[in-house]
Structure 1
Amino acid sequence: MSTVTCPFCLRPMGGKDRSSEHIIPRWVHKLPGIVASYRLPANSGRSWMVWDHTFVRSQQGDSVAHLPAMRPAIRKPLHAHNLTIPVCRACNNGWMSQLEDSARPHLIPLIEGQTDELTAAASTDVMRWAAKTAVAFQQTDPPGATMLSAQLRDLVHGRLPRWVSVAIARCDDPGEAIMIHAPMAVKLSNPVGESDTIVGGRTIISVGEVALFVRQYDRPREFLEDQFAVYPEPDPPPPWRRVMAGQATTLCPNPISYDTSIAMVRPKPNGPPVFW
């Protein structure tokens, strides 16, 4: 029988060591402004879609996106905000609980649309919360999970995950749950013919009136700038605003739409490459 491991600390878990973690925490479901929107009738539910490994080939300035067919992820009769994953009790009751306690006071005003400001003091907690939530959502469809073990270690030990960035925006439909993830690979070539493939993923999580866009790659900016004079992660276009650790962020007043969220994760087959 195969051993089940915790998706965060990667240690074996079973029996009393195993617990369930809500991807979107239960305290969100209790917020007065959104509780009615997330309640579904009996025997109803939603499914969600993922894309396998968008591949963008870049040669001499020309890029081609190879996009496989969309496939359904594991289907369950659950609202997206009621999804759970198995995690070990040590993670669930330890660093994950502490992160929820730290991020919750900063997230509630954003979720309920009471503020457009993310303070400098709140930025790191919100970035870590977004990365944690992205990892959890990826685990609903393990073949598409893209976070590296080194990035998971950073989360477990209270650090911002390396080579991960977060952007924030208002959501135009607070009653809709938007959770999207797509793995990706980008092949880059430099002027002397050397090439390399960057692997990563994009995850969008919408909660109430705020949306978070988590981008993750498998190596640092400095390496790519040195080798290829390019890095596939400029600031995303408005209305997204990139969150920087230790810096305040003012959200753009224009909200992000569902269709725009989809386009951010999955570029058009004949369109320009999306490097944010």
Structure 2
Amino acid sequence: MSAPRRLVPRAARLLVLTLAAAIAVSPVVWTVLTSLKTTRDAQSYPPSLLPESPVWSNYTDLFGTRTFADSVATSATVTVLSTLVTIAVAFPSAYALVRLRPRGRFAFVLLIVLAQAVPGIVFLVPLYSVVSSIGLYDTTLILVVAYAAFLTPFATLVLASFVRGVPVEIEEAAMADGCGRVRLLLLVVLPVSRAGVASAMVFTGLFAWNEFLIPMVLSGRNTRPLTVHVSTFIGQQSIEWGPLCAAVVVVLVPAVLVVAFLQRHLVVGLTAGAVK
């Protein structure tokens, strides 16, 4: 095949990928540009893509309010704690399923898969009743526990696939040197599986940061996370588009930065750890 003919399929693939990227990024671009408009400009017809004059007060007003700062702090705290708790529970569970092979593991994995298939809203009504009765409503603790409970099954399945890829010879050599199960898990399996841990942490962290339904039911004014705070700009009579989009941008930026920073380690981590 000649060089001009080889360029045609490459150009076609590049065009398709460019169009797909433009479609995927266009809502984000629209949100960022709308965050720089006044509510009147955002509701103008016909709509304009670029603001006539950027309005930075949407951001300054957000960070100037105590409630928004508290929501950011709550989201960050709940995300970090729930991610750590989830990994702390899911990683030993994944190792036990793969290496210890306990009885009934097939039924256990089946229950995990079924738990992922059931919508979370099914559990929220009874969970709200229990939380209210024991006095944990509108607390950070219940949000961390609820997030970890919903995320642990998924994280266990993700980590099990990475633990299964750890060479058994490495574990056998460590146990021959007198390494116990706990030390083996922390000092050998965990470093080798750090790519899987990083992947599971990214998914669980993004879920905890972006979750709306659980905190909408279980949190109040004291522990309102950022996603619930964003919904306060939507009223019965009108929508404050400028502040709403500014708050959405604040929600998006940390998630994008985390993914951009950690994606380099997801593929390389497992191979490098196994070779070492």
Would the TM-score normalized by the shorter structure come out above 0.5?
Answer: no
TM-score under structure 2 length normalisation: 0.24
| Larger Rg belongs to | 2
Greater length-normalized contact order (CA 8 Å, ≥ 6 residues apart): 2
TM-score under structure 1 length normalisation: 0.24
* Structure whose residues are more often strand by fraction: 1
